[in-house]
Structure 1
Amino acid sequence: MGSSAHELAAATPASRDKYIDLLRVASLGTVVLGHWLMAAVTVGDDGRAEVGNLLAVEPRLQLLTWALQIMPVFFFVGGFSHALSYRSLRRRSEGAPVYSVFLRARLQRLLRPTVVFIGVWGAGALALQLAGEGGGLLDVSLRLVAQPLWFIGIYLAMVAFTPPLLRLHERYGWGAFGGLVAAAASVDVLRFAFGVPYVEFLNFAFVWLAVHQLGFLRADGRLGRPYVLAGAGLAGAALLVAYGPYPLSMVGMPGEKISNMAPPTFALLCHGLWLVGAVELLREPAGRWLRRPRVWRTVVAANGVSMTAFLWHLTAMLGVYGVLLAAGVRLPEPATGGWWAQVPLRIAAAMVVTGVLVAVFRRFERPSAGGKSKVSPEVSQEVSPEVSPDVSPSGAGPAAAVGVALCLFGVLGLSMVGFGGLLEGRTAMLIAVRVTAPVAVAMTLVGWLLVERAGRGRPSLHKYATRV
């Protein structure tokens, strides 16, 4: 049985950076609310349901993405936590290889609920297809619910690259971050000025890893002038959008030729810099707020289920729309007065359904450990002081690297192809390779098993459980 939020909050070490936890849960919560708000379901004259984007219907609202596209903050938080965790494990290993142990510890609470989500939706999609069910909103749902998995894939890459990039950071400091920024800028120059094909996909690494690198700097207390970061990032993004080929929206729009998100652009990197600087400016007042016991208990409780809620929130939203359509409720045209009047009710219903799904699946977000640690996963940013990490088995590091690579390509592929057409071999283009849903699922499962197996040591290692 897991500890209650009250017990976990009371057990929080004095060294805990509570603001990092607030940023983690606030960033995921903002993404969830943004998805619920932007989804615009319509029913055509032929009775077919389609899911559009409010920002495409009302382009003036795209400016809101400069505040609501908050995923850079989550990746920044990841960099901070990964640096602390890897350094803590490295100290206790006395120089022995710990890569596979680090991967398993950091990814356990990410991959277990993800694999369950994929398994449930995959089995459901297969059963529906065998039963001949489909059409309407169901077909759209089978495609859409997998789209947020792109975030899981990017996060997997960040964890996998933490050890080498942390070494670069420890040697070059801001220079390592600057190198990633320069690489991201060079990619856009090659893409837009010289038309080099496929080079844009490199920015899936350079842009997001640059934001992740800011978390390393934060862990070392080297973000001393966040107003400079915020100002430079905001000015850079504004100039690039105003005078460059970049669109206004910081999220992808249907039918647009250039997206700031997929693949990421240098404008999105500037956006990330401005957001990181902005949240750092709020650090002190937020820290005072978090000293209130009730506030901190709420943050701890939310962090304990945040990944489960993120994985299932689109399922909840589409379920609400499905019930409305089945009940014959008329859906107003998006962005009209009637549509806005329904928004609070739809979001409230989606919150309730998400709560039910979280209650069912939250146990998979808890790491499986072969022992009890005095520091719970919900409140630990480092290895517990009682842990004495073991040496990784021979060959565990390469096996773990292969496993995380398979997981990465598996979840990215699934985010593109979705769960529809499992038996027809429906494909999607992942960079320059076509993938099917069954192949993507198989890669994810095999990769997860490799990471789990490679990261297991003697029982003492099972106590090592850190927050995603």
Structure 2
Amino acid sequence: MRRLARLAARTPADRERYLDLLRALAILLVVLGHWTIASIYYDRHGQPDGHSALPAIPWAYPLTWAVQVMPVFFLVGGYANAASLAAHRSRDGDWGGWLLGRSARLLRPTTALVLMLAGASLVARLAGAEPSMVRTVVWFATIPLWFLAAYLAVVPLTPLMYALHRRFGLVVPAVLVLLVAVGDLGRALGPADLALANYLLGWLAIHQLGFAWYDARRGNCRPAGNGPVGLRSRCLPMSARAALVMLAGGLAVAVLLTAVGPYPVSMINEPGQRMANAAPPSVALLAVATAQLGLILLLRERAERLLHRSRPWQAVIAVNAVVLTVFLWHLSAVVLLVGALHGLGLLPTPQAGSAAWFAWRLPWVLMLAGVLAALVAVFGPIEARTGRTTASRPPATDTDRAGGTDTDRAGGAGRSRGDERPAGRRARNVLTVAGFAAVGYALVTNSVTAKAAAEPLGLPVAALLAYLAGAGTLRLLRSGWGSRG
């Protein structure tokens, strides 16, 4: 508590604390949403399995408009990436050093999860478990990694996308939304492969709005060049009137697209949906994200006043210190609890949507919270130490102090140009991109590999090797290996 109090007291007055709160709340909503909607049952082989209970309670589909919070992550990430990139450049750092710094906080806790799952899978195989069963367990535990794969695709594009933002402002997300609509048209009329680009374009559109929020805080609204501003403004409209327009307009469009148009009401994907909203992101999801942004902006001033009080701000700091660990391990907690209850013969499997299923929600969530707390106690220090290490490096400007967050502050941790020879810097940049590409490939490969595939290590072998190679390369580069050319 004393350390939290010291951190709270050292927080710069101009920091956008609301962003940290948004991240913490979004993580908690994801965790509670996954836990609450899970329905456990026994398959035909007598083994416990799980699926979403949403199809059994279709009246809950509109609630997904509130609990689908992936857009919030990309919005906050856009702000934090813009802030840390600006601070890094103010120290004469290059884009490669910035990108390398971003990898630390993201990959260290993720590597712990990957290694633990691979090791546990090996032990299970040696104990006689079937490869398909091992894969099923690991597949469920690694569901959170699909988000990290999407984010790792967006982060390396930040220098380019922020340059476009500085030149064209809000025109960029508008064009990205139009391209998402083209992809949706391909899903509806063909060819369906047109929608594959939406996996990137949809999240980039929201990420750009984070840039606009950052520039609105800095008062830097005019685009590069001369001429009228208009839609080319760099700044997100922050007034209450603009927020109300976003909220009402986003809801109206979302209702129209789901009630009259071809999109499902649920913003969380369900099996058999042709026009699924989240994978890839659809225009309907972007409309809901617009409404969420309007609500977020409406609550901003009140939240900021609250967060300038010590106790609420300390709570937000505490959550953000281990926020990625909570996200990465929350479904592993489900695996462990189900395994324990199954082993004891105490696993209840009420029918999804039944009275017994609803009655089981509270004790289920409370037990999962206990398991997750134990996992965070073990693995949380990996993330927390990373945050303390990168935070200990004094930022050069108020931009970094105000814009960085506990999850993203590592972005300012690159070497300046003067510390490296040009040849060494170029080699480092190439290896950094290669490392990100290898990690991204590994996470995507794991996500698309079948749930019951015969994978002896739970994770596809090619994906595991690519992940270890990519993460290992980035770790070596962060340690300074080869930096002197």
Does the pair score TM above 0.5? yes
Whether 2:380 is the aligned partner of 1:362: answer yes
1:170 aligned residue: 166
Deviations 1:294-338 (A, max 9, x none): 100000000000100111000112222222222223322222112
Kept after mapping to 2: 8 A contact 1:76/1:211? yes
Kept after mapping to 2: 8 A contact 1:246/1:259? yes
Q: 1:42 is paired with a residue of what secondary structure?
A: strand
Paired residue for 2:103, among 84, 107, 119? 107
Q: In 2 relative to 1, CA 314–124 (structure 1 residues): closer, same or farther, beyond 3 Å?
A: same
Q: In 2 relative to 1, CA 456–135 (structure 1 residues): closer, same or farther, beyond 3 Å?
A: closer
The share of aligned pairs that are identical, in percent, is: 33
How big is the shift at 1:381?
Answer: 6.7
1:429 aligned residue: none
Q: In 2 relative to 1, CA 3–398 (structure 1 residues): closer, same or farther, beyond 3 Å?
A: farther
How big is the shift at 1:345?
Answer: 0.8
Which structure 2 residue ranges, 5 or more long, are not aligned? 217-234, 396-400
Once the two structures are overlaid, the 10-residue window that deviates more, 366-375 or 393-402, is 366-375
1:403 aligned residue: 435
Q: In 2 relative to 1, CA 162–51 (structure 1 residues): closer, same or farther, beyond 3 Å?
A: same
Q: d(CA) in 2 for partners of 1:323 and 1:385?
A: 43
Kept after mapping to 2: 8 A contact 1:400/1:455? no
Paired residue for 1:344, among 338, 343, 362? 362
Whether 2:187 is the aligned partner of 1:187: answer no
Once the two structures are overlaid, the 10-residue window that deviates more, 333-342 or 138-147, is 138-147
TM norm structure 2: 0.85
Kept after mapping to 2: 8 A contact 1:49/1:137? no
Which structure 1 residue ranges, 5 or more long, are not aligned? 427-435, 462-468
How big is the shift at 1:373?
Answer: 2.8
Whether 2:262 is the aligned partner of 1:245: answer yes
Q: In 2 relative to 1, CA 126–352 (structure 1 residues): closer, same or farther, beyond 3 Å?
A: same
How big is the shift at 1:67?
Answer: 0.5
Q: In 2 relative to 1, CA 51–136 (structure 1 residues): closer, same or farther, beyond 3 Å?
A: farther
1:69 aligned residue: 68
How big is the shift at 1:22?
Answer: 0.2
Paired residue for 2:279, among 249, 262, 275? 262
Q: In 2 relative to 1, CA 46–176 (structure 1 residues): closer, same or farther, beyond 3 Å?
A: closer
Deviations 1:137-179 (A, max 9, x none): 8664222111110100111112111000000000111111112
Given residue 86 of structure 2, which amino acid in structure 1 is its aligned partner? R
Q: In 2 relative to 1, CA 115–45 (structure 1 residues): closer, same or farther, beyond 3 Å?
A: closer
Number of aligned residue pairs:
447
How big is the shift at 1:249?
Answer: 0.7
Kept after mapping to 2: 8 A contact 1:149/1:411? yes
Whether 2:422 is the aligned partner of 1:412: answer no
How big is the shift at 1:370?
Answer: 8.8
Q: How does 1:300-311 map to 2 (within 5 A)?
A: 300-311=317-328
Kept after mapping to 1: 8 A contact 2:101/2:413? no
How big is the shift at 1:455?
Answer: 4.8
Paired residue for 2:120, among 121, 124, 135? 124
Structure richer in helix, relative to its length: 2
Whether 2:294 is the aligned partner of 1:281: answer no
Kept after mapping to 1: 8 A contact 2:153/2:440? yes
Paired residue for 1:394, among 394, 405, 426? 426
Once the two structures are overlaid, the 10-residue window that deviates more, 111-120 or 317-326, is 317-326
Whether 2:228 is the aligned partner of 1:196: answer no
2:236 aligned residue: 223
Q: 1:250 is paired with a residue of what secondary structure?
A: coil
How big is the shift at 1:118?
Answer: 0.5
Q: 1:307 is paired with a residue of what secondary structure?
A: helix
TM norm structure 1: 0.88
Given residue 40 of structure 2, which amino acid in structure 1 is its aligned partner? V
2:227 aligned residue: none
Q: d(CA) in 1 for partners of 2:391 and 2:52?
A: 47
1:431 aligned residue: none
How big is the shift at 1:385?
Answer: 10
2:336 aligned residue: 319
2:345 aligned residue: 328
1:160 aligned residue: 156
Q: 1:395 is paired with a residue of what secondary structure?
A: helix
Q: d(CA) in 2 for partners of 1:384 and 1:258?
A: 36
Q: d(CA) in 2 for partners of 1:299 and 1:352?
A: 20
Given residue 307 of structure 1, which amino acid in structure 2 is its aligned partner? L
How big is the shift at 1:201?
Answer: 0.9
How big is the shift at 1:363?
Answer: 2.1
1:432 aligned residue: none
Q: d(CA) in 2 for partners of 1:142 and 1:100?
A: 33
Q: d(CA) in 1 for partners of 2:149 and 2:44?
A: 38
1:373 aligned residue: 393
Compute the RMSD of aligned alpha carbons.
3.0
Deviations 1:228-287 (A, max 9, x none): 222222222211112222111101113333311222211112121211221111101111
Kept after mapping to 2: 8 A contact 1:88/1:382? no
Q: 2:50 is paired with a residue of what secondary structure?
A: strand
Kept after mapping to 1: 8 A contact 2:198/2:282? yes
Given residue 303 of structure 2, which amino acid in structure 1 is its aligned partner? A
Q: d(CA) in 2 for partners of 1:264 and 1:318?
A: 28
Q: In 2 relative to 1, CA 385–444 (structure 1 residues): closer, same or farther, beyond 3 Å?
A: closer
Q: In 2 relative to 1, CA 46–453 (structure 1 residues): closer, same or farther, beyond 3 Å?
A: closer
Q: d(CA) in 1 for partners of 2:456 and 2:131?
A: 15
Once the two structures are overlaid, the 10-residue window that deviates more, 297-306 or 263-272, is 263-272
